[in-house]
Structure 1
Amino acid sequence: MDQPVVRDAALLIFRAVLGVVFIAHGFEHFFRTGIAETTTQFQGFGIPQPKLTALITASAELLGGGFLVLGLLTTFVAGALALLMLAALYFVHFGQGFFVAENGIEYPLVLIAALLMIVVFGSGRASLDGVFGRAEL
């Protein structure tokens, strides 16, 4: 299993699934729940500057998820999304219990761990980062 092609395929699948999860959440904040309702929710959680934070969060999730799927600026994007999820863990999930059904810390912890795996191991060769990294200058 320790073959480059297997690692690259696993990283591609891992990145794509994680990216789609973030795209779905960003899409939900923008178009299903809406920024106004997301702002109200953020205000209820005590998040500073709830409207600005809702816009930044939705944009980061939507665009960052897309960048993860493409494998573009992958380690930077994964690190930024991990910080975003740490903020969500603190403001939204901490003190709510463990399980996701209770709005607990389970889900953001899994996302943070997954994002840290991408920060550590990179995007793999099956990514735009991999393609640009192999380009002859």
Structure 2
Amino acid sequence: MDKPVVRDAALLIFRAVLGVIFVAHGWEKLFMSGVTKTTGQFSAWGVPQPKLSVWITSIAELLGGALLVVGLLTTFVAGALALLIAAAIYFVHLSSGFFTVDNGIEFPLLLIASLLMIVVFGSGRASVDGVLTRG
């Protein structure tokens, strides 16, 4: 299993799945729930500057997720998204318990751990970063 092709394939799948999750969450905030409803939720949770925070979060999730999928600026994007999720844990999930069903920290912790794996191991050769750094 310690073959470069297997490692790169695993990183590609891992990055793509994680990126799609972020794109879906950003899409949901902007286009399904909408900015107004999401701003109300952020405000109820005590997130500072809720409308601005909704825009920053939504765009970061959409753009960051897409960049993870293609593997461009991967370690930077994964680090930035990990900080965003850390803020979400602090403002939203920390006081809700552990389990996702209660809006707890279970899912955000999984996201942070996944993002940190990408920061540590990079995007792999099957990525735009991998193509740009070859040669």
Give the TM-score normalised by the residue count of structure 1: 0.98
Deviation at 1:121, TM superposition (A): 0.2
Cα distance in 1 between the residues matched to 2:119 and 2:60: 16
Residue-pair matches, total? 135
Q: Which residue of 2 aligns with 1:61?
A: 61
Deviation at 1:49, TM superposition (A): 0.5
Cα distance in 2 between the residues matched to 1:122 and 1:29: 28
Following TM superposition, where does structure 1 have runs of at least 4 consecutive aligned residues deviating by more than 3 angstroms?
Answer: none
Cα distance in 2 between the residues matched to 1:74 and 1:27: 20
Deviation at 1:95, TM superposition (A): 1.6
Q: Which residue of 2 aligns with 1:92?
A: 92
Determine if the alignment matches structure 1 residue 75 to structure 2 residue 81: no
Q: Which residue of 1 aligns with 2:33?
A: 33
Cα distance in 2 between the residues matched to 1:25 and 1:88: 13
Cα distance in 1 between the residues matched to 2:47 and 2:102: 19
Residues 27-60 of structure 1: per-residue CA shift (max 9 Å, x gap)? 0001000011111100001111000000000000
The Cα RMSD (Å) is 0.5
Unpaired runs of at least 5, structure 1: none
Specify the SS of the correspondent of 2:61: helix
Unpaired runs of at least 5, structure 2: none
Task: Give the fraction of aligned pairs with identical amino acids, expressed as a percent.
Answer: 70
Specify the SS of the correspondent of 2:95: coil
